[in-house]
C-alpha cells in the first residue's frame, strides 16, 4: 500500500509526453530513476511517488482522487471529462499550469482530392476518430448531425480502407496527414500538456509541496522561453 502522506503524481509511462515529463520532474529537483520498468517510482529526495501509466488513465486517476497531480494532454483530459459528465460522474479538476510541450490540435480532415464546402457539408457523414466526445461537442455547437466510427489509432487509414472519408485526429506537423493524402479543414481543439491537480481538499503539507513544485516549473518554463544577453559598452555610453 502506498503512503498517503507522500504526494502522488501520474505521468505517461511511454509515449509522446514521457520524455518531456521526466525531464521536467528531474529539473524540478526530483531524484528519480525512470529507466526501470517499474510502474511506481519513489523519489529519493522528496516525499513524492510517481505512477507511470497510459495517458488515457490519468484523467480518471485525478478525478477519482487516486493521485494528487497528473501531467496530461488537455485533449485526453477534456475527452474523459465529457465522457464522465455524460455518465453523471464527478468530473472536477484544477489546471495548475500549461507546460508548453505536447502541443497539437484536434482537426477534421478529408482526402486531398475532395472539395471542402464548410461545416454544413459534414451533415450526416461518418467521421472516424479517437475523440468522439470532443467531436460531438464541437459539431453539436454548430448544429451538425453526424455518425462516428471509433478507431483508437491510425485514424488516417480510414479513407484508404473505405471506412470513412472524413477523419478527426490530432495533428502536430501535418506530415502524417500529407503522407496519407489527407488535408486539414477545421481545427476543433487546441491542446498541450498540462499539470493538473485533483479538486478535493488536500493536506497543508502536500499543498506546500505542490506550490514549491509549481514555482520551480514556472522558473523552468520561463528560462526555456527567455534568452540571456550580455553586451559590452563603454561606461560613458551606459545611460
Site for ligand PRT, rule CB under 6 A:
12, 15-17, 54-56, 73, 75-76, 102, 104, 169-176, 191
Q: What is the closest distance, in whole angstroms, from the C-beta atom of residue 201 to ligand PRT in the complex?
A: 29
Answer with the entry of ligand PRT, Zn ion, none that 80 interacts with (C-beta below 5 to 8 A by kind): none
**Given the complex with ligand PRT, which of 129 and 202 has the nearer CB atom?**
129
CA distance 114 to 183: 9
Shortest spacing between CB 1 and Zn ion, in angstroms: 27
d(CA 66, CA 92): 13
Q: What is the DSSP letter of 226?
A: -
Binds 165: which of Zn ion, ligand PRT, none (CB < 5-8 Å by kind):
none
Cβ–Cβ under 8 Å, residues 93 and 196: yes
Minimum CB–partner distance for residue 238 and ligand PRT (Å): 46
Q: Which residues bind Zn ion (CB under 5 A)?
A: 55-56
Q: Minimum CB separation from ligand PRT for residue 145, in Å? A: 25
Q: Which is nearer to Zn ion, 56 or 165 (CB)?
A: 56
Interaction partner, residue 172 (Zn ion, ligand PRT, none; CB < 5-8 Å by kind): ligand PRT
CA 176 to chain centre: 19
Tell the smallest beta-carbon distance from residue 184 to ligand PRT (Å): 9
d(CA 15, CA 18) in angstroms, rounded, equals: 6
Cα–Cα distance for residue pair 30/215, rounded to 1 Å: 14
170, 40 Cβ separation under 8 angstroms: no
Q: What angle do CA 114, 120, 126 make, to 5 degrees?
A: 65
**Are 58 and 72 spatial neighbours (Cβ–Cβ below 8 Å)?**
yes
The nearer residue to ligand PRT, 17 or 195, going by C-beta atoms, is: 17
Cβ distance 43 to 7 under 8 Å? Answer: no
From Zn ion, ligand PRT, none, which one binds at residue 104 (CB under 5 to 8 Å depending on kind)? ligand PRT
Of 166 and 209, the one with the shorter C-beta distance to ligand PRT is 166
Amino acid at each position: 500500500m502506498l503512503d498517503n502522506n507522500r504526494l502522488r503524481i501520474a505521468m505517461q509511462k511511454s509515449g509522446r509526453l514521457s520524455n518531456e515529463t521526466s525531464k521536467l520532474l528531474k529539473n524540478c529537483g526530483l531524484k528519480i530513476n525512470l529507466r526501470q520498468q517499474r510502474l511506481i517510482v519513489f523519489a529519493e529526495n522528496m516525499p513524492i511517488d510517481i505512477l507511470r501509466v497510459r495517458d488515457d488513465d490519468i484523467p480518471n486517476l485525478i478525478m477519482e482522487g487516486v493521485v494528487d497531480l497528473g501531467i496530461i494532454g488537455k485533449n485526453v483530459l477534456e475527452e474523459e471529462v465529457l465522457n464522465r459528465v455524460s455518465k453523471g460522474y464527478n468530473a472536477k479538476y484544477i489546471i495548475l499550469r500549461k507546460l508548453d510541450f505536447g502541443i497539437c490540435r484536434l482537426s477534421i480532415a478529408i482526402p486531398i482530392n475532395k472539395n471542402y464546402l464548410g461545416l454544413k457539408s459534414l451533415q450526416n457523414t461518418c467521421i472516424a476518430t479517437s475523440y468522439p466526445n470532443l467531436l460531438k461537442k464541437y459539431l453539436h455547437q454548430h448544429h451538425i448531425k453526424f455518425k462516428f466510427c471509433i478507431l483508437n489509432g491510425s485514424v488516417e487509414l480510414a479513407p484508404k480502407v473505405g471506412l470513412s472519408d472524413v477523419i478527426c485526429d490530432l495533428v502536430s506537423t501535418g506530415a502524417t496527414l500529407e503522407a496519407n493524402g489527407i488535408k486539414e479543414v477545421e481545427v476543433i481543439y487546441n491542446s498541450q500538456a498540462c499539470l493538473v491537480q485533483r479538486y478535493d481538499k488536500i493536506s497543508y503539507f502536500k499543498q506546500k509541496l505542490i506550490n514549491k513544485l509549481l514555482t520551480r516549473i514556472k522558473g523552468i518554463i520561463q528560462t526555456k522561453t527567455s534568452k540571456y544577453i550580455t553586451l559590452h559598452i563603454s561606461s560613458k555610453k551606459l545611460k
